[in-house]
Amino acid sequence: MRVAWMYHDVMDLYGDTGNMMVLKKRCEDRGIRFELETVGIGEKADLAAFDLIFLGGGADKEQMSIIPDLLSRKENIQEAMDSRTFVLLICGGYQLFGKYYEAADHSQIPGLGFYDYHTDTGKEGSRCIGNVVIEADLDGLKTKIVGFENHGGQTVHVEHPLGKVLKGYGNSFDAGYEGFYDGRILGTYLHGPLLPKNPEVADFVITKALQKNDPDFKQSDLKKLEDVWETRAREAILSKLEQ
């Protein structure tokens, strides 16, 4: 499983590094070869050669710093998605695959424009902050996903949300839904980081990545792991939030 971690040294807000640590560990525990390559600003890489692309979160300053390089890779990213490379996006990464992101000073940061959604800034500096629980259907796998959100951006016109909000805000204050999933990319505001608290989602991402070279591979084909501490952490959060 080959993973391209884009802008690891810039877009790494709220512990996004933990997501890569989880994928690496869960692959190694199953004897799946895991290769992680970082792709920084100006570094050459054929993104279509990878099974998974990961782009984490960052504040306005960080997002603006990567825009020229990110936009220069648009054709290659499209090629990667067309060749079944799966894409995992957290917060800022999620926003930048839409039309644009409006910064706190109301300037518009252009996105890749792969999807019709866009992100406006919260009124008077308001932010969506707190623990989140959503109910999602991941290609037939129904699960509750837990995490933590902290975003001023209000993402609207999301045609394929990741899940229904049970606790928290989601894409915007009154959205009722969180994230984006269309079979090719999974975008979400959930930090925490996301994958340590949600082993089913981690295995789902691994499965989607492996399906690039083996379309018939199913999540049930993965060796079962004990997930004792992960399950306890999830149960503690769900119990606290009464979900």
Q: 3-class DSSP state for residue 200?
A: helix
Q: What gap in Å lies between CA 196 and CA 144, rounded to an integer?
A: 14
Active site residue 27: no
Q: Which of 8, 27, 91, 128 is catalytic?
A: 91
Contact 109, 93 (CB under 8 A): no
Kindly write down the DSSP assignment for every residue of 80-123, as one continuous string.
HHHTT-EEEEETHHHHTTSSEEE-TTSPEEE---SSS-EEEPPG
Q: Which of 8, 118, 151, 191 is catalytic?
A: 191
Closest CA to 138 of 206, 81, 54: 206
Closest CA to 189 of 165, 216, 218: 165
Active site residue 191: yes
- Based on the number of CB atoms within 10 Å of its own CB, is 42 exposed (0-12), middle (13-18) or buried (19 or more)? exposed
Query: How far apart, in Å, do the first and last CA atoms of the chain sit?
Result: 34
Tokens of 108: 């518009």
Residue numbers annotated as active site = 91, 191
